[in-house]
Amino acid sequence: MKALITGGAGFIGAHLANQLHQRGHYVRVLDDLSSGDPAALLPGINFNRGDVRDIPKLWSLLQGVDVVYHLAARVSVPASILYPREYNDVNVGGTVSLLEACRDVSVKRVILASSATVYGDQRAQPVNETMSTQPAAPYAVSKVAAEQYLFTLGALCGFETVALRIFNAYGPGQPLPPAHAPVIPQFMQQVAGSGSVMIFGDGAQTRDFVYIDDVVEALISAAQVDGVDRQLINVGSGVEISLNALVEAMATIVGNKANVLYNRTVSGGIARLVADVSKARQLLGYTPSTQLVTGLRKLIEQDPLFQQVKRKQPRAGADQTSAVRTRLNLGNRPQ
């Protein structure tokens, strides 16, 4: 197939583009490089710098394209509170512009990378796609609006649409910005470097961390299977872990003692969030295959940010992996 990936030089986008390219598909990437890096893309991928709101540019890039992956977005929850107008402009306005262009060029299917943040604080866990959304930040609001525009314009204009609500994706190549960094690379850097890990709240809050390879498999499947038009689908690991247990796992893997500091004056966010992935299993044939312990070890081994740690520490063997699972009560479930 021929695919266009907006935001394709970002963390998830680059992994998706490279995997599609390696499987023999033709891939075009559009990215404004506000956070992406074209150096992460394999040779042979057609990279284009530009804004997803530039409809004439979209017209040219969409020629001959079968499927569009819409990943271009501003993605920081804290930053969205400071800059809600920018998040609305890019995440909502950019989605509408892309959908207009897809209508004009007669694209067959559009896949939106949505977010688990749309669920907000839910009493029942794991969360499933039938639950009402309770967005608690402008970023989450923008994703709810993008979903609704996606399905509405797709139905009106005659192209298929799918929205994947992606939980906390992690893996090699994830950027580590100085502010509002993702949890796993930030904590790993602090633990591996014998620094202090700052946790907001008491660390008992749980999240669903899903390895990047599993996310990519779900995205690829969403472009190829039938019967997914106008479907919302969770993409997570299906297992929750507390932030305290996450830091403990990292400390065991790298062989350092974690120095954890707690800031209880600042909210740690929602208490629990874990995905029900039964719909993804049914519609996409999705089975998360990378356990958390394995994913963290891959991060240490493959991400250049942690290469120094890799040289200092021996490779975690089966005994160590088993010990971490036992301490965290993870068993053999997918993480």
DSSP secondary structure, 285-313, as one string = -------HHHHHHHHHHH-GGGHHHHHHS
pLDDT at 319 over 60: no
Q: Predicted confidence band at 317 (pLDDT cuts at 50, 70, 90)? A: very low
- Give the other-Cβ count within 10 Å of 245's Cβ: 19
How confident is the prediction for the chain on average, in pLDDT?
A: 92
**Residue 217, SS3?**
helix
pLDDT at 320 over 80: no
**β-bridge partners, 3:** 27, 67
Fold classification of 2-166 (topology level): Rossmann fold (3.40.50)
User: Distance between CA atoms of 311 and 192, rounded to whole angstroms?
Assistant: 12
List, in sequence order, every beta strand (DSSP E) within the chain: 2-6, 26-31, 46-49, 67-70, 109-115, 160-166, 168-170, 196-200, 206-207, 209-211, 231-235, 241-242, 259-263
Which pLDDT score, from 0 to 100, does residue 271 have?
Answer: 94
pLDDT at 282 over 50: yes
Task: Quick: pLDDT tens for 206-221.
Answer: 999 999 999 999 999 9
Averaged pLDDT for residues 241-267: 93
Q: Which amino acid is at 261?
A: L
User: Distance between CA atoms of 73 and 87, rounded to whole angstroms?
Assistant: 8
Predicted model pTM = 0.91
pLDDT at 326 over 50: no
pLDDT at 315 over 50: no
Averaged pLDDT for residues 251-276: 92
Q: Which amino acid is at 329?
A: N
Which pLDDT score, from 0 to 100, does residue 329 have?
Answer: 52
80's CB contacts (< 8 A; 6+ apart) are 74, 87, 137, 138, 139, 142
118 within 8 A of 127, measured Cβ to Cβ: no
Q: Predicted confidence band at 77 (pLDDT cuts at 50, 70, 90)? A: very high
Which phi and psi (to 5°) does residue 314 adopt?
-70, 155
Averaged pLDDT for residues 4-27: 98
Tokens read off for 124:
């029942």
- Give the other-Cβ count within 10 Å of 257's Cβ: 10
Q: Predicted confidence band at 268 (pLDDT cuts at 50, 70, 90)? A: confident
Q: Predicted confidence band at 318 (pLDDT cuts at 50, 70, 90)? A: very low
Q: Predicted confidence band at 204 (pLDDT cuts at 50, 70, 90)? A: very high
- Percentage, residues of the chain above pLDDT 90: 86
User: Tokens 């295959």 belong to which residue?
Assistant: 289
Which pLDDT score, from 0 to 100, does residue 179 have?
Answer: 84
**β-bridge partners, 199:** 262
User: Distance between CA atoms of 166 and 175, rounded to whole angstroms?
Assistant: 17
282's CB contacts (< 8 A; 6+ apart) are none
Q: Which position among 69, 119, 139, 170 bears the catalytic label?
A: 139
Superfamily name with CATH number, domain 174-208+238-273+290-328:
UDP-galactose 4-epimerase, domain 1 (3.90.25.10)
User: Distance between CA atoms of 72 and 8, rounded to whole angstroms?
Assistant: 7
Q: Is 170 a catalytic residue?
A: no
Query: In the chain, what are the domain boundaries?
Result: 2-166, 174-208+238-273+290-328
Q: Which amino acid is at 251?
A: A
Q: Which amino acid is at 142?
A: S
pLDDT at 143 over 70: yes
27 within 8 A of 46, measured Cβ to Cβ: yes
Task: Quick: pLDDT tens for 91-141.
Answer: 999 999 999 999 999 999 999 999 999 999 999 999 999 999 999 999 999
**Residue 35, SS3?**
coil
Q: Do domains 2-166 and 174-208+238-273+290-328 have the same CATH topology?
A: no
Which phi and psi (to 5°) does residue 18 adopt?
-65, -40
